[in-house]
Chains A and B, each alone.
Chain A
Amino acid sequence: MEIRVTINGEARTLTVHPWERLLHVLRRAGYKSVKFGDELGMSGASTVLLDGKPVDSAVLLAAQADGHRITTVEGLGTPDRLHPLQQAFIETGAIQSGYNTPAQILVAKALLDENPNPTEAEVREALAGVLDRETGYVKPVQAVLRAAAMMRGEPVEPFAPLERAIPIPAEFFDHPHDDDLPGEGGPAVQTRTRRPLVVTPPQARPRSVVGKAEPKVDALKLALGRPVFTDDFEMRGMLYAALLTSPHAHARIRDIDTSAAEAFPGVHAVLTYKNVPRVKYASGGQTYPNPPPHDQVSLDNKVRHVGDRVAVVAAETPEIAREALKLIRVDYEVLPAVFDPEAAMQPGAPVIHDEEDTVGIHDRTRNIVHHIEAAVGDAQAQWAKADRVFEGEYRVHQVQQAHIEPHVCITYWDEDQRLVVRTSTQVPFHVRRMLAPLIGLPVKRIRVIKPRIGGGFGGKQEMLIEDLCAHLTIATGRPVRLEYTREQEFTSARSRHPQILRFKTGVTNDGEVVAAELYLIGNTGAYGTHGLTVQMVSGFRALTTYNAPYSRFVCDVVYTNIPTPGAYRGYGAPQALFALEVHMEEIAEALGMDVVEFKRKNWIKVGDVMVMSRALGEGREGFEQVVRSSALAEAVEIGLRAMQWDQKRGRPGDGPVKRGIGMAVAMHGSGIAGLDMGAATIKINDDGSFNLLVGATDLGTGSDTVLAQIAAEVLGVPLEDIIIYSSDTDFTPFDTGAYASSTTYISGGAVYKAAMEVRRQILEHAAQHLLPGTRPDDLDLLDRHVIAPDGRQVSLERVALHSLHQADQKQIMASASHMSYESPPPFAAQFAEVLVDTETGQVTVERLLMVVDCGVAINPITASGQVEGGMTQALGYAHCEEMAYTDTGRVINTRFGDYHIYQANEMPDLQVIFVETYEPTGPFGAKAVAEIPKDGVAPALASAIHDATGVWIRELPFTPERVWRALRAAGRA
């Protein structure tokens, strides 16, 4: 059928099928700004304006749009004439991955079209329908308020953080800052949108580009909705893949009959265990050699969780592929399943990996993948010092990364018969290396391209679908696209490891922690990917913040029949720090000590050796490390003042709804010591600009911007003169990838080194040819010029032209690699303020403040965006997100809504304060910031709930029923 629509003012006639959703028709017609987030329209990623009203095009038939006006972001502005909303989103740092930015801009446009002067509450209500997993909504709200002001003709100031030098005047936190953006709460909105505050040491050295609130280098194209994501790419002859997954938690496949599916018109290939080579691998995107066990194959004759791979189909259309899946007949022998890790370790439990070709399982019959033991210090002596011993058990649950862009991959043969893999991945180089043996091609015949990524959070640190897509291209010779459904994101992708953590801590009567032991049971689900390393990180994080002289970690990593956990932002730390911080506060309470004083007395300090750093590396022995920089004490102090801790703590109030305030401290890392490596290449162009090629992968964090800022600072140019490209295994140098908070510290270190070498070459050429009588060491780079001490200067353009074309010709360029045997910890103090309804157990989170020491914040706006977004994810982890199961191991809540992600209109007040230190091993003093926001929210909420009610809750999440039961058990309901 034909529909007549007006799209962005242009009359169009489109041929559509009656079943087609408007989303797919618009994307086919070239409007790629309209994104897929889920099939139900709950994510809002597919939002368009229909006759000026926001609707989600995923749940609208194209036929319904017949006769209507449609607006997409492509119709709003141009690069030279941006819509004020696009401009404000860029200026405020509201764009991270940019995947749902078009949807946010469109709902904001609809709002401002009818209400040019909205309150903050109204903006939040408008944005509520577009789930944002990245920003915490702070900056999008600021962007809309800013755009509204611009559209009303009001002046707006450059968007920048507040800056204060230590010492901060005592009265600074006593009343709201006059320079906060105007905001207005509403009955359902407790928030006030603030700018980040950067607190600097008095001696901080001014920089030109580093430390500045530079707009993201990729923001313009994202604001314009340009086709920059994996699925925004079309190829002639593309086939569409669909994945058949297991309905059983544990079963052997006796047989698969694919004949009907193969005969279905439009089907080009059906792959099962019968026609795909059996090559063992581990899917985690980790450094060579991948940690054992290699317990997966592309397609197996056994399934180990609901959602496990069974078969994959390539067909002419997605609809045909889905129909073909229904025609595959699978004969399952259903096996007993086990979901609880303690039950899985018992004799007689179902053996999940009984296949002979998986090696490296610690105790196959008890489903124990790894048994870890590590201890440092003199146990006997330290326990003898302990006047009191405290034990506590804590349980944490399974949550999903829920990046709005699903896993999506396109594979095709290029003109040289090399396989190109265009994929939304955090680890392109690992994918290339790991993929090669599975598909029987040498690495040199594989090229992996990472376009923009619509969020990853660790979920894309995994080779999850690339092998299947590649197998199908090899089988058909055609380009193939495979994208997970939202349900598959929950059942067939990765998640956070559930854990049971049992602490035993020895303390002296005056509050000194002298001994600590942790026994951890990690549930790694059906496969062992990341199982070893996540639990080792948990152990390291749990035993390092308070750094007891005797520390011991014992861990069992256990197979069960739940969908496999993997890497998720924080990587073992959120679990560990919830348990640790609650345990420590319980100890302080039992000792009758002030919790802050108790923690302050014991937390690790500058100059301390991290006792477990050698014993607990990541998957292997680590390297001894010393804390070289920490502003934890200052962060806590500032946070206490900002929260008015002394005035609020211990004052729950009357009535059934109690108020509480809590805190936790957090410590993370910056990359993996001795393991992560990044590389960068920089070359000068004729006009004095530079190409910066990095293997690092910006998954929305702003790392491209930060890396470019580092290069720009060294080379004395504005950020716009750095053209960064990342990443393509054919063109960019190697990088382990975007994980472990490594990019700024490790990849940034590589950029710094490469830039320093390019700088050296520029100065040498200038001294030799253009500034006679000078020596390179006398020269400086500033404002696109080489500056001599006598005031002479020559432009970089002149240096470039001269070196490329005129004399002593050469390409000024350099490549550098960087790794580190240190992983300097960022520190943070996390605060929370809550209301607890003691009749219902409902917890309402009113305020979250994180005071962070991430060294020098290379870009305080992108850094604060990381903290705001990370705190919001952590809030979901602590409060409402949870993968729930049936008794047979099927995830119940695979839909957004059922799996509840915080919306813009229910957020607490979020605030970020940076307390800068100078980390001597980091580029320009930087440490990491990406993951630490995940670490402190859960224990700070537990602390606040305890402050409100006197009850400790030792299991996540803090659902109404869990809190209600705890209150009843304590007689406080």
Chain B
Amino acid sequence: MPNPTGYYRPRTIDEAVQLLSQPYIKTALLSGGALRLATDDLPYEALIDVQAIEGLSSIARTPDGTLEIGAAASLEAVVRSPDVPAMLRETLRRCVTWNRRNAISIAELVEYPETLPEAIAALLALDVTLVFAMPEERRLRLGDLQGNVSQPRLPEKGLIVRFEFPATNPWQTWGQAHVARTPADTAIVSAAVVLVVDNSGTVAQARIALSGVWDIPARLAEGAAAALTGRLLDAAAIARATAALNDEIAPVADYRGSVAYRRAMAGIVTRRALEACQARLAG
């Protein structure tokens, strides 16, 4: 018989975590499903559908300004929420169609990072933290998960309950750029940048994430960010950042782009994303 042979729809997080912990059954969470179910050969004997768990799809800000997105929130709900950073909304809207946004949850996005790498880059740049219930609550910054080349898997027996986005800093700006075959195609290489720039124009904090230039879908370019931090956001600083980037990327060729092409594009899209930050600051 094909998998899954079991289907559960728990009503509480505790119940879900308990079901996940069944020792002899290979289980997985199901929220959305368009990525999880994109194969006839599921490796899971049972699926735990979290749609009935209250609050798991909500999108709200806490009093301290942290944005919390429930793990089961659909990408369409994310795109529609004005609270969600524009960079993430624009990325999802560009590269995921409406019917798929309705059927993919934000949790699936990080469970299948190779599907939408530029969205992962946006999440990394936005410094997202994943909150798990295992059953005790555990926090993991996405950067810590994705930034490691060995790419540790998400905890299999833990339930992602929400994504936390830090409160927006009034000095924060952002930019993104990509290259793709067509306007709505998945990016070959993308860059997502979030900067905090003080009133002197100096970069106080930089998060630069790229997709398409490592053997994992996306990760933070810490060298490039370091080259920028503490400097005025000008052409020279941007050039330093892209030069630093060249030392830390390790592209892998595929049919859409060779190593040389991806390497060349990394600098260009990063420069453009940083120039978009400049333009926002100027505007």
Chain A positions within 8 Å of B, measured between CB atoms, are 1, 17-19, 21, 39-42, 44, 47, 50, 53-56, 59-61, 63-64, 66, 107, 125-126, 128-130, 188, 319, 322-323, 837, 839-842, 844, 879-880, 882, 884, 892-893, 897, 900, 902-903, 905-906, 959-961, 964-965
Report the Cα distance A311→B82, complex, angstroms.
54
- What residues of B have a CB within 8 angstroms of the CB of A1 in the complex? 7
Q: Is the CB of A188 within 8 A of B268?
A: no
- What residues of A have a CB within 8 angstroms of the CB of B5 in the complex? 18-19
- Using known A-B contacts A54-B102, A125-B98, A900-B185, determine if residue A64 contacts B30 with beta carbons closer than 8 Å: yes
Report the Cα distance A717→B2, complex, angstroms.
56
- Using known A-B contacts A18-B7, A961-B257, determine if residue A188 contacts B37 with beta carbons closer than 8 Å: no
Q: Is the CB of B268 within 8 A of A839?
A: yes
Report the Cα distance A964→B47, complex, angstroms.
46
Q: Mark B82-102, 1 if CB is under 8 A from A, else 0.
A: 000000000001100111101
Stretch at the interface among B132-140, B147-155, B174-182, B222-230: B174-182
Chain A CB within 8 A of B34 CB: yes
How far is the CB of A898 from the nearest CB of chain B, in Å? 8
- What residues of A have a CB within 8 angstroms of the CB of B264 in the complex? 964
Chain A CB within 8 A of B76 CB: yes
Closest B residue to A965 using CB positions: B261
Chain A CB within 8 A of B199 CB: no
How far is the CB of B264 from the nearest CB of chain A, in Å? 7
Q: Is the CB of A882 within 8 A of B261?
A: no
Report the Cα distance A56→B97, complex, angstroms.
11
Q: Is the CB of B182 within 8 A of A59?
A: no
Chain B positions within 8 Å of A, measured between CB atoms, are 1-7, 9, 30, 33-35, 37-40, 42, 46-47, 49, 51, 76, 93-94, 97-100, 102-103, 179-186, 188, 254-258, 261, 264-265, 268-269
Report the Cα distance A129→B183, complex, angstroms.
14
- Known contacts A19-B2, A897-B186; 4 additional CB pairs below 8 A are A55-B102, A56-B100, A60-B33, A961-B261
Contact partner, A906, options B4, B9, B102, B183, Cβ 8 Å: B183
Report the Cα distance A64→B76, complex, angstroms.
18
How far is the CB of A173 from the nearest CB of chain B, in Å? 26
How far is the CB of A338 from the nearest CB of chain B, in Å? 20
Q: Is the CB of B49 within 8 A of A905?
A: no
How far is the CB of B43 from the nearest CB of chain A, in Å? 13
Report the Cα distance A319→B179, complex, angstroms.
40
Query: What 10 A-B pairs come out closest when comparing CB atoms?
Result: A129-B97, A884-B255, A129-B99, A906-B183, A906-B184, A880-B181, A18-B7, A54-B99, A59-B34, A840-B179
Report the Cα distance A1→B7, complex, angstroms.
9
Q: Is the CB of B98 within 8 A of A126?
A: yes
- What residues of A have a CB within 8 angstroms of the CB of B103 in the complex? 41, 55-56, 59-60
Contact partner, B188, options A64, A882, A960, Cβ 8 Å: A960
- What residues of A have a CB within 8 angstroms of the CB of B30 in the complex? 61, 64
- What residues of B have a CB within 8 angstroms of the CB of A40 in the complex? 34, 38
- What residues of B have a CB within 8 angstroms of the CB of A893 in the complex? 255
Q: Is the CB of A902 within 8 A of B99?
A: no
How far is the CB of B40 from the nearest CB of chain A, in Å? 6
Q: Is the CB of A130 within 8 A of B99?
A: yes
Q: Is the CB of A61 within 8 A of B179?
A: no
- What residues of A have a CB within 8 angstroms of the CB of B255 in the complex? 882, 884, 892-893
Report the Cα distance A18→B46, complex, angstroms.
9
Report the Cα distance A841→B265, complex, angstroms.
10
How far is the CB of A826 from the nearest CB of chain B, in Å? 28
Q: Is the CB of A39 within 8 A of B4?
A: no
Q: Is the CB of B183 within 8 A of A60?
A: no
- Using known A-B contacts A41-B100, A126-B98, A884-B255, determine if residue A59 contacts B38 with beta carbons closer than 8 Å: yes
How far is the CB of A720 from the nearest CB of chain B, in Å? 36
- Using known A-B contacts A129-B99, A839-B268, determine if residue A905 contacts B184 with beta carbons closer than 8 Å: yes
Q: Is the CB of B102 within 8 A of A53?
A: yes
Q: Is the CB of B182 within 8 A of A900?
A: yes
B interface, by DSSP: helix, strand, loop or mixed?
loop
Q: Which of B34, B182, B261 has the largest number of chain A CB atoms within 10 A?
A: B182
Closest B residue to A875 using CB positions: B182
Q: Is the CB of A47 within 8 A of B40?
A: no
How far is the CB of A175 from the nearest CB of chain B, in Å? 27
Q: Is the CB of A55 within 8 A of B99?
A: yes
Q: Is the CB of A19 within 8 A of B4?
A: yes
- What residues of B have a CB within 8 angstroms of the CB of A128 in the complex? 97-98, 184
Q: Is the CB of A960 within 8 A of B97?
A: no
Q: Is the CB of B182 within 8 A of A906?
A: yes
Report the Cα distance A125→B183, complex, angstroms.
12
- What residues of A have a CB within 8 angstroms of the CB of B182 in the complex? 879-880, 900, 902, 906
- What residues of B have a CB within 8 angstroms of the CB of A107 in the complex? 98-99
- What residues of B have a CB within 8 angstroms of the CB of A66 in the complex? 9
Report the Cα distance A953→B268, complex, angstroms.
22
- What residues of A have a CB within 8 angstroms of the CB of B186 in the complex? 897, 900
Report the Cα distance A42→B184, complex, angstroms.
13
Closest A residue to B179 using CB positions: A840
Q: List 24 A-B contacts (CB under 8 A).
A: A1-B7, A18-B6, A18-B7, A18-B46, A19-B3, A19-B5, A19-B42, A39-B39, A41-B100, A55-B103, A56-B100, A59-B34, A60-B34, A61-B7, A61-B37, A61-B47, A64-B51, A66-B9, A129-B97, A129-B100, A323-B2, A880-B185, A884-B255, A961-B261
How far is the CB of B53 from the nearest CB of chain A, in Å? 14
Q: Which of B93, B185, B257 has the largest number of chain A CB atoms within 10 A?
A: B185
Report the Cα distance A66→B51, complex, angstroms.
11
- What residues of B have a CB within 8 angstroms of the CB of A964 in the complex? 261, 264
Report the Cα distance A956→B136, complex, angstroms.
55
How far is the CB of A99 from the nearest CB of chain B, in Å? 16
Report the Cα distance A18→B8, complex, angstroms.
9
- What residues of A have a CB within 8 angstroms of the CB of B257 in the complex? 960-961
How far is the CB of A42 from the nearest CB of chain B, in Å? 8
- What residues of B have a CB within 8 angstroms of the CB of A884 in the complex? 255
Report the Cα distance A60→B39, complex, angstroms.
11
- Using known A-B contacts A21-B37, A61-B47, determine if residue A842 contacts B180 with beta carbons closer than 8 Å: yes
Q: Is the CB of A319 within 8 A of B100?
A: no
Report the Cα distance A844→B46, complex, angstroms.
45
Contact partner, B256, options A42, A53, A837, A959, Cβ 8 Å: A959
Report the Cα distance A130→B269, complex, angstroms.
30
Closest A residue to B258 using CB positions: A961
Report the Cα distance A21→B36, complex, angstroms.
12
Report the Cα distance A903→B96, complex, angstroms.
11
- Using known A-B contacts A125-B98, A129-B99, determine if residue A322 contacts B40 with beta carbons closer than 8 Å: yes
How far is the CB of A40 from the nearest CB of chain B, in Å? 4
Contact partner, B76, options A53, A130, A841, A903, Cβ 8 Å: A53
How far is the CB of A856 from the nearest CB of chain B, in Å? 36
Q: Is the CB of A59 within 8 A of B33?
A: yes
Report the Cα distance A126→B42, complex, angstroms.
30
Closest B residue to A959 using CB positions: B181
How far is the CB of A349 from the nearest CB of chain B, in Å? 24
Q: Is the CB of B179 within 8 A of A960?
A: yes
Report the Cα distance A64→B50, complex, angstroms.
10
How far is the CB of A420 from the nearest CB of chain B, in Å? 29
- What residues of A have a CB within 8 angstroms of the CB of B9 in the complex? 63, 66
How far is the CB of B243 from the nearest CB of chain A, in Å? 17
Report the Cα distance A63→B183, complex, angstroms.
36
Closest A residue to B5 using CB positions: A18
